[in-house]
Structure 1
Amino acid sequence: MPASFETLKRMHETDWAAYTAHGFVRDLASGALPEASFRHYLQQDYLFLIQFARAWGLAVYKSRDIGEIRQALDSLKAIVDVELGLHVGYCRQWDISEETLAGLAESRATLAYTRYVLDAGMSGDLLDLHVALAPCIIGYGEIASALIAHPATVLDDNPYRDWIEMYAGPEYQAVVATEIAWLDQRLATVDAARLAQLSIVFRDATRLEADFWQMGLDLS
């Protein structure tokens, strides 16, 4: 049976569950997450987006044909021209100014995951890079969809409702579907040895994403 993104998830079910059902996520769903934790996460997520843009710039370089170049360039432009501005606007709702964001230092968790992604892309190929990015791109969509569907999730008077609905919304879910389709097409052609290499990248990236949630709880 050809490998797919679901194959990677099955190979590392425990790590994926620890990330997608992390305490930070559960507290988002209930609205019990301390505001300071969410504000810290938001600020570091701004710095994360900057490094994410660099990763898509690397994806342009690693691309082998014009289709891949266009896809990577579109993702890069979406972050630089749209997402960063939206994030700054959302942070402003939490009384976090653009000046504050510009003066932030990266936390260790931010450094660890973003530099891991860049290293995976630099030392590997475009597929390695996409696999390293998958816990973020696909994981956020899966988390938000699960929260929206779960009867225990509180939306009324939940200060984090906008965050949940943004990632559960059709625009972001379309991004997720596109990324899954891209990965499934390419993973279907790899042999067992290559899949084993990629599964390590996926495992480590997933663990580092879980650490990013923990950073929010620890305010570290």
Structure 2
Amino acid sequence: MTLAQLLWQENRDLAQQALDHPFMHGIRYGTLPYAVFQHYLAQDAFFLNAYARAYALALVYAPDTQGMRDFYELLSGVFAELTLHERNAKGWDIDLTQVVPDTATLAYTDFLLATATLRDIGEICAAMTPCMRLYAFLGQMLAFQEVTEAHPYRDWIHTYAAPEFEALAVRLETLLDRYASDIPPVHTTYRRAMQLEVAFFSAQAIPSTS
């Protein structure tokens, strides 16, 4: 088992929490109120801008040319994801330049940027990998059911279920295996990122059905 596989297995409890979360349930069945998704989209765009900066710092700290190339291509993948957000935002009249980040969003972005600025390349990979692996997992799990053309979140599900996104997640896991050591700080950093992912979903205000 590789280090990336071990870390993922250690944190499957949090991955399951994310999959079972009411927010993700709403995405799965198309019942999530548009206002909630709009808020999520704006917060996620703010997060992705920080995530892109973390990739840029990882590129700078990469110890070899192949690593620089890999981080550059992963950074390009983030920009492609942001393009999807911008397209959705235009359709729903959301101004992504005026986003006020929630506490949960700031906690995650501050963690990522502090790690990318102050820690070594292995811990940077450990901080960034959970986002990619978790979203690939969620997209693939949600895509097991039939997603019709009329499903309001069809594009979201297909984006993260796509083989292209899985390939990006695998590439980042490969970098984690290459640069990180099986030491406590790496395990702690990975789990903290997973906890912040779940907290990010929990910060989305979902109206009670009771």
Give ranges in structure 1 of 5+ residues lacking alignment: none
Q: Give the counterpart of 2:159 among 144, 158, 166.
A: 166
Structure 2 equivalent of residue 129 of structure 1: 124
SS at match of 2:203: helix
Structure 1 equivalent of residue 21 of structure 2: 22
Q: 1:185 to 1:59 in 2, by over 3 A?
A: closer
Q: In the TM superposition, what whole-angstrom CA distance separates every residue of 1:39-63 from its partner, at most 9, and x where no partner exists?
A: 0000111111111111011101221
Identity %: 31
CA shift for structure 1 position 200: 0.9
Q: How does 1:76-87 map to 2 (within 5 A)?
A: 76-80=75-79, 82-87=80-85
CA shift for structure 1 position 177: 2.3
Q: Give the counterpart of 1:208 among 171, 187, 196.
A: 196
1:12 and 1:174 map into 2 onto residues whose CA distance is 20
What residue identity is the alignment partner of 1:202? Y
Q: 1:10 to 1:76 in 2, by over 3 A?
A: closer
Q: TM-score, normalized by length of structure 2?
A: 0.88
The structure with higher relative contact order (CA 8 Å, sep 6+) is: 1
CA shift for structure 1 position 11: 2.2
Structure 2 equivalent of residue 7 of structure 1: 6
1:129 and 1:9 map into 2 onto residues whose CA distance is 16
Q: In the TM superposition, what whole-angstrom CA distance separates every residue of 1:154-182 from its partner, at most 9, and x where no partner exists?
A: 54532011100111112212212222333
Structure 1 equivalent of residue 109 of structure 2: 114
1:10 and 1:125 map into 2 onto residues whose CA distance is 23
Structure 1 equivalent of residue 141 of structure 2: 146
2:27 is the alignment partner of 1:34: no
- Kept after mapping to 2: 8 A contact 1:133/1:205: yes
Structure 1 equivalent of residue 172 of structure 2: 179
Q: 1:43 to 1:155 in 2, by over 3 A?
A: same
Q: How does 1:31-110 map to 2 (within 5 A)?
A: 31-80=30-79, 82-96=80-94, 100-110=95-105
- Kept after mapping to 1: 8 A contact 2:115/2:123: yes
Q: TM-score, normalized by length of structure 1?
A: 0.84
SS at match of 1:15: helix
- Kept after mapping to 2: 8 A contact 1:31/1:154: no
2:157 and 2:149 map into 1 onto residues whose CA distance is 12
2:167 and 2:12 map into 1 onto residues whose CA distance is 24
1:86 and 1:159 map into 2 onto residues whose CA distance is 14
- Kept after mapping to 2: 8 A contact 1:63/1:126: yes
